[in-house]
Chains A and B, each alone.
Chain A
Amino acid sequence: MNPRYLLLALVLILGLAPLALPPYYVTLLNYIGLYALVVLGLVLLTGVGGMTSFGQAAFVGLGAYTSAYLTTAEQLPAWLAWAGSSPWLSLLVGVILTASVALLLGALTLKLSGHYLPLGTIAWGLSLYYLFGTLESLGGHTGVSGLPSISLFGLLLDKGEKIFYLIWVILLVAIVITQNLLNSREGRAIRALKGGQLMAESMGVNTFRSKMVIFVISAVFAAISGWLYAHTQRFVNPTPFGLNMGIDYLFMALIGGVSSVWGALLGAGILTMLKQWLQDLLPHLLGNTGNYETIVFGVLIVLLMQRAPGGLWPMLVGWLPARWKMRRAAPAVDLNAAALPRRELPAHGQKILEALHVTKRFGGLVANNDMSLAVHSGEILALIGPNGAGKSTLFNQLSGVDTPTSGDVLFMGRKVNGLSSRQVAHMGLSRTFQHVKLLPEMSVLENVAIGAHLRGRQGVMAAALHLERREEAELLNEARRQLERVGLGDCLYEQAGSLALGQQRILEIARALCADPCLLLLDEPAAGLRLKEKEALGVLLSRLRSEGMAILLVEHDMDFVMGLVDRVVVMEFGQRIAQGLPEDVQKDPAVLEAYLGGVE
């Protein structure tokens, strides 16, 4: 059974609904569609991107008021006169205006972290609401009336059961576009925003841009919903665009399932129906009128969040028979997809990375003191030393995650201290992390494909329309190839979080290789691996070395290190205490004393 049939059935039922249902229910369905469009944007923003917004209702208002003003104003400025002639033209203006406002607000607020971002959205949500109410030309709190109906191919959509089709077609298209986008290279970058920003930046993802993309998309969805609303009601006033509605939209997302696209529809449907139903029922039960539905509603939300914190949609999916769910698995790999072009590796023995007198202070603590080292192509260099010696700190400075207090880091002769990890990734450095950083809910394949982010070119539009399928197939095929190379070819479609910790570390190596780097920084790659796995890793790293890759690794397994690497640098208390060939370093009394032990 294919879920596509379910979608087909849904479309069919929707198509017949206005013919079969009384007008009251058609109106309700219209509202559900309008709300769902806004909530869809919120799913993208909050559920997928991890940015909570209370301000979506303001964007709805922006779309509604722009169109209301343009289509009803008696005298428009000459340069704008064209926009008043049809709701479709005013939609265009509304979308452009909303996108611009979103860009501006995004630039101001998206850098905020933690609870400051939601607070920021409340702030501009309130501001826009009061703006609508205060501006004389927008009718103040009385609002604007007499809006024209939308006409489509000469058909005037002046009744609920007519505009119904427009609303639901737009909603379904928006759902498909959103799903397409999430299921692409740009989509993986967006999905990495929640909990994987440091990792994504190290793979070359511009996380701020990804945030901005979903912020603008969610604002535009809201604006289109507002436009539809305005021309369905043919009247607007500020009330439905206030903070209360902004909170209701969030509720809908929570009820339906904040991270599932179809949850938006479910949440909007349930909240709308429930409100109507409670409003009718409660006065009968309690014997007098009042806003009891809000109280009952609050209780229901609390109960729901306890029973199904992920929302209702994931719960429904959980009840589906397993064979249906098989089809929901991550996109399959096309084995015939062309190989991606590769970077030309520098000549053997060339100096790739050099740290010169790098010092890093955290307040009074000197984590790295005058550290110097160099890595050449076709060489494996090990950095060893006791826990807390400053190895990971040095790694962070080499890879652009952190900036040295003094000293320089040169990559292929270019100074890179001060550059971001994204820029360093661009130049050909790829790394793994001491504490595994992956997206546990995403498939193994998609996690690794994030590593190939910089090897794709296609943008958000192409992804939304799925015009980038060839490139996408190439990226996924590359991810598969790297996974097979590291020995994880059997678990492409498993959730990354379900792998054992040692396998997750290997996954990180595949992800790093997917970037086609010329320098690999591996932070404890063999930790938690067993003998055979270590042997396989050793073989892989040797092969990469012979291909001309430069590798710098931190590792505590001395049997693994001493049998594999070309040179060793030993650190203690932030400084270098020894360096040289493995056999020499192992005999060095200072190293034995500080690290290896063996002198009693």
Chain B
Amino acid sequence: MSSAMINTAMAVPAAPNVQPRNLVSDAVLEIRDLSVAYGKVEALSNASLSVGKGQIVTVIGPNGAGKTTLLSAIMGVLGSRGQVHFDGSLEGLPEVEVMVARGLGLVPEKRELFTSMSVADNLLLGAFQRHRRGERDYSATLKEVYDLFPRLWERREQLAATLSGGERQMLAVGRALMAKPKLLMLDEPSLGLAPLITREIFRIISALREQGVSILLVEQNARAALRVADYAYVLETGQIAMQGPAKQLADDPRVIEAYLGLASKHQEMLAT
């Protein structure tokens, strides 16, 4: 994507009188000029983004644009340059353990379940840091998770390896919720899921927001993602190419042309 496109396509013009978004005072996450390089190749360059409390923010963009890299860098799985402010304080270089303890949750693209453990044990491990801090109230959270995903309750004794695709995703989300995250980052939550289950996942995402969990969402069904989100960023070749309120981006002709398409009645249904 050319820089010309970036300039003209900014849904929020960088005019001086408009308050830049990264000054949102109640942001739970705010990153500035974050860059990640694999060897000489820069996968993410100077990305700035913020997620307000109780907001759903989505990042859309093509494969290889750096979305997963972005989430990994925020989580501290990958080394990066730049600033990551989480929950009011600056993380020099995020470290996974610290970030989890401070209330950041990631549901990775490949789910990464503990396949040789039962569903219940997978969930309990999600509360590991809380247990370590001496909190013993996670059985209440466990009940909440089972309420949210009754299917996990039915299968609580089963090994995670025996779950179907949709159930695995539920377990991955449930496990992340066990840590009571302030911000939940979801990487492709609907990957490999049938339409009905995908709708269910989107409903759950909306429900989580009602409960006050902030969410950073990377999702292949861009149209559905824009419907549930408050704010959106477009990431192209490692750079934030566009940003704006989700509704505004959903109507932007360039976004429609590149990411939404016109004939997508099935996708339309996913976020209803």
A residues within 8 Å of B by Cβ?
322, 384-388, 434, 498-503, 524, 527-533, 535, 556-559, 562-563, 594-598
Contact = CB atoms under 8 A, between A and B. Distances in A.
B196 A530 contact: no
18 contacts: A387-B166, A387-B167, A388-B166, A499-B64, A500-B63, A501-B63, A501-B68, A501-B110, A527-B191, A527-B220, A528-B188, A528-B191, A531-B260, A532-B258, A558-B195, A559-B264, A559-B265, A596-B266
Contact of B192 (A387, A535, A598): A387
Given A558-B195, A595-B194, A388 B220 contact: no
B109 interface: yes
A43 to B, nearest CB: 25
A524 B191 CA distance: 10
Contacts of B261: 531, 535, 559
Leading 3 A-B pairs by shortest Cβ distance: A388-B164, A502-B63, A558-B266
A530 B63 contact: yes
Contact of B269 (A530, A562, A598): A598
A530 B196 CA distance: 20
Interface centre among B167, B222, B267 (most CB of A within 10 A): B267
Nearest to B221: A557
B266 A559 contact: yes
A384 B197 CA distance: 14
A388 B109 CA distance: 19
Contacts of B166: 386-388
Nearest to A598: B269
A500 B199 contact: no
Interface centre among A384, A385, A598 (most CB of B within 10 A): A598
B111 to A, nearest CB: 10
Contacts of A533: 62-63
Interface residues on B, range: 35 or more
A384 B167 CA distance: 18
B195 A597 contact: yes
A388 B188 CA distance: 19
Interface string B177-199: 00000000000100111111111
Contacts of B164: 387-388
Interface string B205-221: 00000000000000010
B266 A386 contact: no
B64 A503 contact: yes
A559 B263 contact: yes
A501 B109 contact: yes
Nearest to A490: B64
A556 B194 contact: yes
A219 to B, nearest CB: 35
Contacts of B39: 322
A590 to B, nearest CB: 13
B132 interface: no
A595 B265 contact: no
Contacts of B64: 499-500, 502-503
Contact of A532 (B62, B188, B191, B196): B62
Contact of A434 (B38, B110, B192, B220): B192
Nearest to A526: B220
Interface in B56-90: 60-65, 67-68
A402 to B, nearest CB: 16
B263 A563 contact: yes
A559 B166 CA distance: 20
A384 B196 CA distance: 12
B68 A530 contact: no
A434 B264 CA distance: 24
The residue among A529, A563, A596 with the most chain B CB atoms within 10 A of its own CB is A596
A426 B60 CA distance: 41
Contacts of A385: 194
B136 interface: no
Given A386-B194, A528-B188, A531-B258, A562 B266 contact: yes
A322 B194 contact: no
A385 B32 CA distance: 43
Contacts of B65: 500
Interface string B101-134: 0000000011000000000000000000000000
B245 interface: no
Given A533-B62, A559-B263, 15 more contacts: A386-B196, A387-B193, A387-B194, A501-B63, A501-B110, A503-B63, A527-B192, A527-B220, A529-B220, A530-B60, A557-B266, A559-B264, A563-B263, A596-B266, A597-B269
B165 interface: yes
Contact of B195 (A498, A499, A556): A556
A545 B260 CA distance: 26
Contacts of B188: 501, 528
Given A531-B261, A559-B264, A559-B267, A386 B63 contact: no
A503 B269 CA distance: 26
A598 B268 CA distance: 11
Contacts of B38: 498
Contacts of A503: 63-64
Contact of B199 (A502, A529, A530, A597): A597
Contacts of B63: 500-503, 528-530, 533
Contacts of A596: 195-196, 266
Contacts of A434: 192
B109 A556 contact: no
B196 A528 contact: no
B138 interface: no
A298 to B, nearest CB: 30
A530 B195 contact: no
